[in-house]
Structure 1
Amino acid sequence: MQRRHFLKAGLGFAALGLSGLARADAYTTYQRFHAALARDPELTVYANLEGNQQGHAHVEGRIPGELQGTFFRNGPGRFELGGERYHHWFDGDGYAQAWCIDGGTVTHQGRFVETRKFLDESAAGQFLYPAFGTDIARRGFRDNDSLNTANTNLLPFNDRLYALWEGGSATELDPATLATIGIHTWRDDLAAMPFSAHPKVEPDGTLWNFGALPGGDKLALYRIGADGKVRQAGVIDVPKLALQHDFAVSARHLVFLVPPYDISDDKNLSLADRHVWAAEKRGARIVVVAKDTLTIRRVYDLPPRMAFHFGNAWDEAGGNVTQVDLVLHDGDLLKAASRVMEGEREPNRPALHAAVRISLDHASGKVSTTRLLDGAEFPRVMPQVVGRRHGRLAMLSSDARNTSLMLDTVNVVDVERGRADSWRFAPGWRAEEHVLVPRKGARSETDGWLVGVAQDTNTATSVLSVFDAARVAAGPVALARLPYRTPHCFHGNFLAA
């Protein structure tokens, strides 16, 4: 893996320079946000949380008897400490959650992931280390995992539970209590290597993942067996490598999208601020990697776009054509995730955020794109079709009637016919990612449920929502409401009992 060379090559977390100071405007960000929050209660989705949580949900409707298990969720929970506030939504310390469904009842528990960073800063009563979008640097650090917030995804795998982050190791949690066990090293020579928050688990249990250091022009690749042992690992060179948040796997390929960012060498800026949108220089690139050799098969040019999330991919024509579904954004969304931390709403422009299908012809190099749904994000497929041909894609969207960007509509899209089965939450609600959960022995991709969480800012409560995946437009079959608000999470996975 050439681990030492890989880490030193990047301009990412491990290579950030120390300024010795905190950002002077961290306090100003705190003041601006709280002034905006006093006027706009919908901003509670970006508010700080203190302490752990545990409670029972009140169920409206009926939880299907077959739906048994735990919906694990993760996202940033602590944005403020010592009168300072982070500048970027992605900076907050990880807050792991478990929504347990048992016999028609729903219980909830949430705990902060006790990373090295979280414990050090809690003891100090102030932020100490650089974050993705905030250049606070009061204390030196050893490696990527000194900065690990474990705040992006919660993955049950091989009878264990992992809190995942972009720039460092997985953090193992106790699946029953969410207590932090500690950093998990997949193999000794992979210690502290970036391990993305979006691994893909194929139906046979094989896990694929990557790790990136923006500016380092190298991408680490991993294949891990269902038993948790590393089967394959390597590094590929990707010029002008920038933010890599997600990818897709097909039977034969790994598919990445490299957005058109330049990476500034100004070490007085945060890593987020060092990403400079360079659409006037070049477009995006799709990089297709062969799974058997972990080498690049082909690179495709696209217009200047960025992507946070992929849905799925599959191969056809003997592996010479790959179809991939993802959400493309026209413009720099990294800055938008910074502005919300000061309480600024982003204008709603659904046409700039579209779920698409991209067809990649590896023989001819031709690319074609089909638009699926405007204003979309957080695409997911049924777990049994990961890497295989799929016909349904679950995702959120922002209703065109919204003046500001907020995800308030859940959809299951028939990607072959271009039809969306949709339901919109009431005003003042914010939807989180929803996932497809199959019935045991499911015969189709809609034979199951669409399960997610929504924030009701009218009452400052969080609600687990359950839809029949075949009849989303009929509305939720059950809503399980907590008597309190939980942090707005990014990603998670359902583990059936």
Structure 2
Amino acid sequence: MDRRRFLEAGFSLGALSLAGAARADQETFRRFHAALAREPALGVYADTVGSQAGEATIVGRIPADLQGSFYRNGPGRFELGGERYQHWFDGDGFVQRWTIGGGKVRHQGRFVETRRYQDESAAGQFLYPSFGTHVARRGFRDNDTLNAANTNLVPLNGRVYALWEGGSAYEIDPETLATVGVKAWRGDLRAMPFSAHPKLDPQGGLWNFGALPGSGRIALYQLGADGSVLRTGVVEVPQQALVHDFLVSREHLVFMIPPYDLKDGKDLSFAERHVWAGSGTKARPMRIVVVSKDTLTVRQVFELPPRMVFHFGNAWEDGACTRFDAVLHDGDVLAELGGLMSGQRPDRLTSRSEAVQVCLDYAAGQARTSRLFGSSEFPRVAPQSVGARHRRLVLLGMGDTVLSSVNLVDTDSGRVDGYRFGTGWQVEEHVLVPRRNARSETDGYLVGVAQDFKKGVGVMTVFDAARVSAGPVALARLPYRTPHCFHGNFLSA
């Protein structure tokens, strides 16, 4: 892989390296704290200071066979020097570990000590540009200077990695959560974009990608179960901007490309340079790029009406077709999520997304969608089903302006086994944890985190995956609030 050619072709790297005046965020800071005083529920987006550690109080009973570590990651620091970031995606990574064993739960949380985090902590102010906030007080060498390590926490071969979008993985000590350092999978891959959504391969190891918006290319990585690099490649994807997630089936890698243009502007944040191109007389469709795993080349490109996508469930081969799950949003939602930082709720999101199953018909050259569920996000499947046929899809459902329900959808019948939390709760991503030698996708537990606004605390939730509607079999309540995480994974003991 020609690393230099890939990075130099990126629109963002060249534009952001032009230093200019910092755009102050005191107004965002003021508005958020005024809103927080009126609405304590916004505390899930408040700043986090220092590490966390504590024992949870158990309501109900933790199943005896549920033992291991539930690793989570999300943005934790949004404020520094009287300024506040302007987008939820900007905060410094705060990794968490919920340790489960013997019917007890212990929690710990710690910031990832990235180069950015250390430099800005020492300076007492934001120095570098981030996803949705333009700051240019100090120049930078490469993508890893900007790395927030704030999106996922992935175990692999006895190690744990905090992942971002546009740069390297950061290795984290699996026990203490201390930052070990930048992980270069191979010398020539240093600072290359490495997405926060690697996927297990049915044949072993994992796949990942790296997308540098504006480069017109997507980098491909295949790693062995031991973390060694087996193969790399690059595919040409013109007019490619934000690509957050992808899918892996037995034979293919699948990417959905939302219709964005990137405009120049040295005083604009990365998010502000995204221009939605999915409306108007010259609206572009959403493209689906299918890459063959055996050759790492594009097999076929499909089109769907223009929509935005963040996350996918799973993909599998169905005869001469490939099927997969996705949560699709109408229009550009990036700016609306940014409003959370000033205390605004993204009201319109509640009616603008749906979970669908997509069928890629290679012979006809057509992509068809069928609806699975209404307004939702954070789809997950059982880990043993990745890349193969599945029949259960985990989805968080929207209510009012927050994610408020946990649902297990039967993708064949459409039946939903779900549980809605009451008013005053906000739900985070939930994952399926199979029992040892599980006989089905629901033979195990559904584990996640929810924020209790009324008590101002973080709560780990445990459901019987076969009876979600019966409610949690256990709640592990902390004596403090935890930052709202994006993604994580369960590692059984």
TM-score bracket, normalised by the shorter chain, equals over 0.9
The answer to whether 1:111 aligns with 2:113 is no
Which amino acid in structure 2 is aligned with residue 356 of structure 1? V
Partner of 2:339: 339
In 2, Cα distance between equivalents of 1:412 and 1:276 = 35
Partner of 1:209: 208
After superposition, give the CA deviation of every residue in 1:404-449 in whole Å (9 maximum; x if it has no partner): x210000000001111111011111100000000000000000010
The answer to whether 1:450 aligns with 2:424 is no
The answer to whether 1:171 aligns with 2:170 is yes
Tell me, yes or no, if the aligned pair for 1:7 and 1:14 is still in contact at 8 Å.
no
After superposition, give the CA deviation of every residue in 1:328-387 in whole Å (9 maximum; x if it has no partner): 001111111111111111115544210100000112212211100111100000000100
Shift in Å, 1:388: 0.3
Tell me, yes or no, if the aligned pair for 2:430 and 2:448 is still in contact at 8 Å.
yes
Shift in Å, 1:203: 4.3
Partner of 1:122: 121
Partner-residue secondary structure (3-state), 1:307: strand
Tell me, yes or no, if the aligned pair for 1:202 and 1:384 is still in contact at 8 Å.
no
After superposition, give the CA deviation of every residue in 1:135-171 in whole Å (9 maximum; x if it has no partner): 0110110000000010000000011000000000000
In 2, Cα distance between equivalents of 1:15 and 1:225 = 35
After superposition, give the CA deviation of every residue in 1:33-54 in whole Å (9 maximum; x if it has no partner): 1111111111111111000000
In 1, Cα distance between equivalents of 2:13 and 2:87 = 15
Which moves more between the two structures, 199-208 or 110-119?
Answer: 199-208
Partner of 1:159: 158
Shift in Å, 1:17: 3.4
Tell me, yes or no, if the aligned pair for 2:87 and 2:339 is still in contact at 8 Å.
yes
RMSD between aligned residues:
1.0
Which of 275, 290, 293 is the matching residue for 1:291? 293
Partner of 1:385: 385
Shift in Å, 1:206: 1.5
Partner of 2:233: 234
Which of 298, 303, 306 is the matching residue for 1:304? 306
The answer to whether 1:102 aligns with 2:101 is yes
Tell me, yes or no, if the aligned pair for 1:13 and 1:167 is still in contact at 8 Å.
no
Shift in Å, 1:316: 2.1
The answer to whether 1:91 aligns with 2:93 is no
Tell me, yes or no, if the aligned pair for 2:15 and 2:265 is still in contact at 8 Å.
no
Partner of 1:415: 411
Tell me, yes or no, if the aligned pair for 2:409 and 2:416 is still in contact at 8 Å.
yes
Partner-residue secondary structure (3-state), 2:347: coil
In 1, Cα distance between equivalents of 2:395 and 2:70 = 17
Partner of 2:6: 6
The answer to whether 1:365 aligns with 2:365 is yes
Partner of 1:481: 477
Partner of 2:318: 316
- Show structure 1 runs of 5+ residues with no match: none
Partner of 2:267: 268
Partner of 1:355: 355
Which amino acid in structure 2 is aligned with residue 367 of structure 1? A
Shift in Å, 1:215: 1.4
Which moves more between the two structures, 169-178 or 277-286?
Answer: 277-286
Which amino acid in structure 2 is aligned with residue 366 of structure 1? Q
Partner-residue secondary structure (3-state), 2:117: helix
Shift in Å, 1:202: 2.6
TM-score of the pair, normalised by structure 1: 0.97
After superposition, give the CA deviation of every residue in 1:428-477 in whole Å (9 maximum; x if it has no partner): 11000000000000000000100000001111100000000010000000
In 2, Cα distance between equivalents of 1:247 and 1:488 = 23
Partner of 2:247: 248
After superposition, give the CA deviation of every residue in 1:281-324 in whole Å (9 maximum; x if it has no partner): 2111111110111111111111110110000000121xx31001
Partner of 1:440: 436
Partner of 1:193: 192
Tell me, yes or no, if the aligned pair for 1:14 and 1:143 is still in contact at 8 Å.
no
Tell me, yes or no, if the aligned pair for 2:17 and 2:140 is still in contact at 8 Å.
no
Which amino acid in structure 2 is aligned with residue 79 of structure 1? F
In 2, Cα distance between equivalents of 1:52 and 1:392 = 36
In 2, Cα distance between equivalents of 1:245 and 1:374 = 21
Shift in Å, 1:397: 0.8
Tell me, yes or no, if the aligned pair for 1:348 and 1:406 is still in contact at 8 Å.
no
Tell me, yes or no, if the aligned pair for 2:19 and 2:139 is still in contact at 8 Å.
no
Tell me, yes or no, if the aligned pair for 1:350 and 1:374 is still in contact at 8 Å.
no
In 1, Cα distance between equivalents of 2:447 and 2:368 = 32
Shift in Å, 1:20: 2.6
Partner-residue secondary structure (3-state), 2:308: coil
In 1, Cα distance between equivalents of 2:14 and 2:463 = 43
Check 1:340–1:370 CA distance in 2 against 1; reply closer, same or farther (3 A cut).
same
Tell me, yes or no, if the aligned pair for 1:326 and 1:357 is still in contact at 8 Å.
yes
Partner of 1:76: 75
Query: Structure 1 stretches (4+) deviating beyond 2 angstroms?
Result: 12-15, 17-20, 202-205, 348-351
Partner of 1:491: 487
Partner of 1:459: 455
Tell me, yes or no, if the aligned pair for 2:69 and 2:491 is still in contact at 8 Å.
yes
Which moves more between the two structures, 8-17 or 484-493?
Answer: 8-17
Which amino acid in structure 2 is aligned with residue 9 of structure 1? A
In 1, Cα distance between equivalents of 2:303 and 2:420 = 35
Shift in Å, 1:15: 4.4
Check 1:349–1:179 CA distance in 2 against 1; reply closer, same or farther (3 A cut).
closer
After superposition, give the CA deviation of every residue in 1:88-122 in whole Å (9 maximum; x if it has no partner): 00000000000000111000000000001100100
Which moves more between the two structures, 36-45 or 461-470?
Answer: 36-45
Partner-residue secondary structure (3-state), 2:402: coil
In 1, Cα distance between equivalents of 2:356 and 2:149 = 29
Partner-residue secondary structure (3-state), 1:465: strand
Partner-residue secondary structure (3-state), 1:108: strand
In 2, Cα distance between equivalents of 1:121 and 1:263 = 28
In 1, Cα distance between equivalents of 2:297 and 2:203 = 23
Partner-residue secondary structure (3-state), 2:335: helix
Check 1:11–1:314 CA distance in 2 against 1; reply closer, same or farther (3 A cut).
same
After superposition, give the CA deviation of every residue in 1:3-38 in whole Å (9 maximum; x if it has no partner): 0010010113464133432113x1100001111111
Partner of 1:141: 140
In 1, Cα distance between equivalents of 2:273 and 2:22 = 17
- Show structure 2 runs of 5+ residues with no match: none
Tell me, yes or no, if the aligned pair for 1:436 and 1:451 is still in contact at 8 Å.
yes
Partner-residue secondary structure (3-state), 1:408: strand
Partner of 1:42: 41
Partner-residue secondary structure (3-state), 2:215: coil
